[in-house]
Amino acid sequence: MSLSGLSVPKFDGANYYRQPTTQPSTIGFSTTGTRFVQFEYQLYSPGSAVTGQAMLDTIILGSKTFPAGKFVDRAIWSGFVPTGKYHVSLTYTCNPICGQAPSQYWTKLTVIKDARIQAKEDTGLGTERLWLNAPDTELNIIGTGPASFDGMTYRRPIEAPAFTLSWPSGRQPLNVGFTVNSNQPFRVTTKVGDEVLLVKRGDARTQVTPNLSLIGHPDARSVTVQVDCLNGTPGCAGLYFPNVGLRTPPAVSVPPVVTGGLTLALLGAVALLLGFGPRPRRG
């Protein structure tokens, strides 16, 4: 792993930080297999707001604006990458201008080898389960932040009032499962279209873990889950283990390639080999 564009660590009396010396700053790393990669940082600028835009090589990961003179939560990006060499870069923009270089705290890049979870799991005859937090997943989610790994499992912050989990078209859903938890009272409402499937409450000691049957909704392509924070604090909850059970695609049938006449000829040849059919006459 290599680092460029940032100063040596400095100490403010409470925490260590670095300051950008060039634009952009970069962290280089390589993997020898599919890995979960998590990049996080926090910016502080005393006189003006500062925005950091993170990129993985040429792919924009996201941006976050840190207000002037305030410490706010870290920016976090994460995802799975295949074998290869990569660079995470961070570009800085101040509004209106940077009177001095911003301070960058909590700069951290974590590369995790975690092969316990697969994107697709065989669950029996004609069925399979798709998992969201896995390499090359076929599921899609809108309304949450990126996954983070706590050393044991993956968590996504629920950032919108509701999130939508969807799966590939042309597949019949069987069930959907997930877990929501929070440090305050909350309510989870799960819908398919306009139909409410479940309303359930939880709190700091009680998580909500529905496993909802979708047998009656063979044409459904998504579920929408509304999470209400009952203490009035938005973004209070996290999402774990999102998954969907589906019927597997039907096997492609191959039509026979042997014609009727050829079949009879082959059967006749087999009969002769086995000693059946007309025998030579004795003269």
CB 172 within 8 A of CB 130: no
pLDDT tops 60 at residue 59: yes
Residue ranges of E strands in 7-101: 10-11, 16-18, 25-31, 35-44, 49-56, 59-66, 75-81, 84-95
pLDDT mean over 16-36: 92
User: Where does 2-112 sit in CATH, by number?
Assistant: 2.60.120.260
What DSSP character marks residue 206? B
Domain spans of the chain, in order of start: 2-112, 120-247
Per DSSP bridges, beta strands 103-112 and 16-18 are antiparallel
CATH superfamily of 120-247: Galactose-binding domain-like (2.60.120.260)
What DSSP character marks residue 208? B
Give the rounded percent of residues in the chain with a pLDDT score beyond 70: 87
Kindly indicate the confidence band of residue 116, based on its pLDDT and cuts at 50, 70 and 90. Answer: low
pLDDT tops 60 at residue 278: no
Mean pLDDT computed over every residue of the chain = 86
Pair of tokens at residue 27: 């962290």
Within this chain, domains 2-112 and 120-247 share the same CATH topology? yes
Q: CA angle, 260 as apex, 259 and 263 as ends, to 5°?
A: 85
| Identity of the residue numbered 31 | T
